[in-house]
Amino acid sequence: MPQEYDVIVIGAGTGGYVAAIRAAQLGLKTAVVEKQKALGGTCLLWGCIPTKALLEHAHALKVVQHAKEWGVTIGDAAVAIDMNQVQTRKDRIVTGLTKGVEFLFKKNKIDWIKGTARLTGHGGVDVFEGDTQTLRARTEIIVATGSTPRGVPGVEIDRKRIITSDEAIQLRGVPGTLAIMGSGAVGVEFASIYNRFGSDVTILELLPRLVPVEDEAVSAELEKSFRKQGITSHTSAKVTRATVSGDGVDIDVQLGDGSTKTIRADYLLVATGRGPVTAGLNADGVGLQMEKGYIKVDAEYKTNVPGISAIGDVITLGGPGHPQLAHVSSAEGIITAERIAGQESRPLNYDHVPGCTYCDPEIGSVGLTEAEAKKRGYDVRVGTFPFGVLGRAKMAGETEGFVKIVAGKQYDELLGVHMIGLRSTELVAEATVALRLESTVEELIRTIHAHPTMSEAIGEAAHAVHGAAIHL
């Protein structure tokens, strides 16, 4: 006899585990099948948490390197990073958080079924780990199997010298030279980490600018800052081949001007995106509609097969790319669990998803870029305010960057907010709420921003949209 549940979730990443907790809160008997030895998926084990832990180490090193400026005496000893301690601390944080999810499962009476799940049709799920277990979902199966690093033609990932983020978070030594393919969030975060740790970092980006999904002004500011920090960036640069030889990699690159170059690095980090995980799931066997390997869902995360939903990195809603972000997968998980429990569900507005990139200087953005707003036909007004003018930024010694607001001229409505610089990944929360509440620029101007804070730049950028920044 199969073990029966109301809901079976496959995958315990930020999509799956959050969906399970919400389903259990709403009274549904819930199980989660997870093949890893720990809960939390990419975000906790290989993604958000370990990378941001490493970035905090890089930040600590930066502060110590500038000790003199802070009036802190550390003597003449050379400042260095101890990678063993870095890894130990990072692993402790990861373990603490995965154990936290285990605790939440127990608290909510969610069963963790250990092993690899295979869909068998009509609510059935077989789980393989040693013996096969047979489960049945009375109401719904939620597929949340996530994503995995993806290579590109001509570049074979060997996980030793040509590595992915999975290996880059675990390096036991600081590479002398590191080449990074791709300048999305993952690429530029590792550039910041290893540049600060002491590596000679080169970024190779196929598109004409760094962080290509961000507003162009943000890309330009990051490029300027990276140059100052000694990070080399080649944009419009195509890696045609990478060959491991000895203790390094030879990387053939076609540059924007048509010339070619071979770069030698200790490691090549491939950060060109992630692909869906459906291997062994039997998606075809149960008739799931797929698009480019992703599971196709509607705005309520229902697949074409009744009784099977899918959320997170593994899905496509059709059309332009679905954001592969932890908070998106969790939001989708909550909506799906509530719908299954019979609650009214409202579709997510993907224009209101905040994006945070924790490189140095960090980036926070939400809504339309200036170029996107123009493309959608808005008569656009923008206002920009530099962080460098703020007292708080001067005190912190972090004066790079700005807040840029994109607004519609006709109704004064907020369309997008883009920022780069200190605390941008926190400040973007205000902009996200403002967008969700359909704020006008005038309402942002009338919102009182505490002094001295970095958030004053948001109020000032709003003033700037109306041509009247106070402190410029």
Ligand X SMILES: Cc1cc2nc3c(=O)[nH]c(=O)nc-3n(C[C@H](O)[C@H](O)[C@H](O)COP(=O)(O)OP(=O)(O)OC[C@H]3O[C@@H](n4cnc5c(N)ncnc54)[C@H](O)[C@@H]3O)c2cc1C
SS3 127: strand
- Mark whether 451 is an active-site residue: yes
- Read off φ and ψ for residue 452, nearest 5 degrees: -90, 120
380 part of the interface to ligand X, by CB under 6 A: no
CA torsion sign, 389 to 391 to 392 to 394?
positive
Contact with ligand X (CB under 6 A) among 11, 175, 184, 354: 11
Total interface residues for ligand X by CB under 6 A: 36
Distance CA(268)–CA(211), nearest Å, equals 18
Which residue type does 191 have?
A
365 part of the interface to ligand X, by CB under 6 A: no
Contact with ligand X (CB under 6 A) among 34, 266, 360, 456: 34
Minimal distance in Å, beta carbon 164 to ligand X? 8
Token representation of residue 140: 């719904």
Nearer residue to ligand X within complex by CB, 47 or 182: 47
Nearer residue to ligand X within complex by CB, 225 or 329: 329
- Which residue has tokens 């040693």? 130
Minimal distance in Å, beta carbon 458 to ligand X? 21
Are the beta carbons of 297 and 278 closer than 8 angstroms?
no
Are the beta carbons of 51 and 326 closer than 8 angstroms?
no
Minimal distance in Å, beta carbon 202 to ligand X? 19
Are the beta carbons of 385 and 469 closer than 8 angstroms?
yes
Nearer residue to ligand X within complex by CB, 155 or 281: 281
- Bond before 361 cis per omega within 30 degrees: yes
x/- letters, 12..31, toward ligand X (CB under 6 A): xxxxx---------------
36 part of the interface to ligand X, by CB under 6 A: yes
Minimal distance in Å, beta carbon 401 to ligand X? 19
Angle (CA) 400-403-405 rounded to 5° is 160
Minimal distance in Å, beta carbon 51 to ligand X? 5
336 part of the interface to ligand X, by CB under 6 A: no
Roughly what angle, to the nearest 10 degrees, separates helices 16-25 and 326-340?
30
Q: Which of 122, 322, 418, 451 is catalytic?
A: 451
Interface region with ligand X, contact rule CB under 6 A, candidates 235-243, 250-258, 262-270, 324-332: 324-332
Regarding beta strands 147-149 and 414-420, do their DSSP bridges make them parallel or antiparallel, or are they unpaired? unpaired
Minimal distance in Å, beta carbon 413 to ligand X? 26
Residues 48-107 that bind ligand X (CB under 6 A): 48, 51
248 part of the interface to ligand X, by CB under 6 A: no
Distance CA(396)–CA(43), nearest Å, equals 29
144 part of the interface to ligand X, by CB under 6 A: yes
147 part of the interface to ligand X, by CB under 6 A: yes
Interface region with ligand X, contact rule CB under 6 A, candidates 104-112, 251-259, 322-330, 362-370: 322-330
Nearer residue to ligand X within complex by CB, 20 or 465: 20
SS3 196: helix
Nearest C-alpha neighbor of 310 from the set 351, 285, 340, 280: 340
Distance CA(221)–CA(401), nearest Å, equals 7
Residues 173-202 that bind ligand X (CB under 6 A): 186
**Helix (H) or strand (E) run with residue 16 in it:** helix 16-25
Token representation of residue 293: 């390997």
Nearer residue to ligand X within complex by CB, 48 or 373: 48
Are the beta carbons of 441 and 414 closer than 8 angstroms?
yes
Residue ranges in contact with ligand X by CB under 6 A: 10-16, 33-36, 41-43, 46-48, 51, 116-117, 144-147, 165, 186, 277, 280-281, 312-313, 324-327, 329
Q: Which residues are tagged catalytic?
A: 451
